A and B are shown apart, each in its own frame.
Chain A
Amino acid sequence: GDQVEQSPSALSLHEGTGSALRCNFTTTMRAVQWFQQNSRGSLINLFYLASGTKENGRLKSTFNSKESYSTLHIRDAQLEDSGTYFCAAPPPSSFSKLVFGQGTSLSVVP
């Protein structure tokens, strides 16, 4: 079936450092969304990409549909960046849904 594989499953960062999260797709997706799920359980929209790269503050995301992957870069991590990050994509089999990855649990420590 349509799969979205996220890595790493968990990540710990010291404040001020950065890292990259990755999503691999088992089939060609037409777009990708990235979300942060905070401690209250709310899903916060970070990016929607149909191609290329977008940047917003300390976050940057890239989507390469041909090579079936997307990345989310976090730089200068802050404590409030802690949470679970999900990527999700609409599969070609059904344009009206999102398939979610397993998530990356990010912990930012002082």
Chain B
Amino acid sequence: DPKIIQKPKYLVAVTGSEKILICEQYLGHNAMYWYRQSAKKPLEFMFSYSYQKLMDNQTASSRFQPQSSKKNHLDLQITALKPDDSATYFCASSPDWYEQYFGPGTRLTVL
């Protein structure tokens, strides 16, 4: 059974719309993260949360808002979508700040 679930797997959106990317982890970890990978580039850190509190934010735009309704959930709301937002978004989790484990990703395409 997958331990980190990301939904949806693929997402197509129109410019200016709003989408929510879902992430749930069943590893019992207290820290969760979002990363973004644009085409053929390395992953870039976006946010980190611990016990549902924001720890670090490396995203310049306020259009990206993480939302944590439960300890094992960290969703990512993206508003006013732009074509440059097209990327694969990975959720990850870890016990405290140690080894991170990644979900399968959500591939977002903005038209």
Q: Using a CB–CB distance below 8 Å, which chain A residues touch chain B?
A: 31, 33, 35, 40-43, 45, 48, 86, 88, 90, 94-103
Contacts and interface: CB of A to CB of B under 8 A. Distances in A.
Interface residues of A, dominant DSSP = loop
Contacts of B72: none
A33 B42 CA distance: 14
B42 A101 contact: yes
B42 A97 contact: no
Given A41-B88, A96-B31, A98-B43, 14 more contacts: A33-B100, A35-B102, A41-B105, A42-B102, A42-B105, A43-B43, A43-B102, A86-B43, A88-B43, A96-B48, A97-B58, A98-B100, A100-B43, A100-B44
B1 interface: no
Interface residues of B, number: 24
Given A96-B48, A96-B50, A97-B56, A48 B97 contact: no
B64 interface: no
User: Which one of A40, A41, A98 has the greatest number of beta carbons of chain B within 10 Å?
Assistant: A98
Interface in B58-107: 58, 88, 90, 97-102, 104-105, 107
Contact of B97 (A41, A43, A90, A101): A90
A40 to B, nearest CB: 8
A41 B55 CA distance: 27
Contact of B45 (A33, A35, A43, A97): A97
Interface string B3-41: 000000000000000000000000000010101000001
22 contacts: A35-B102, A40-B104, A41-B88, A42-B104, A43-B90, A45-B102, A48-B98, A88-B43, A90-B97, A94-B56, A94-B58, A96-B33, A97-B33, A98-B35, A98-B43, A98-B45, A98-B100, A100-B43, A100-B44, A101-B42, A102-B42, A103-B42
B86 to A, nearest CB: 14
A102 B41 CA distance: 7
Nearest to A6: B42
Contacts of A96: 31, 33, 48, 50, 55-56, 97
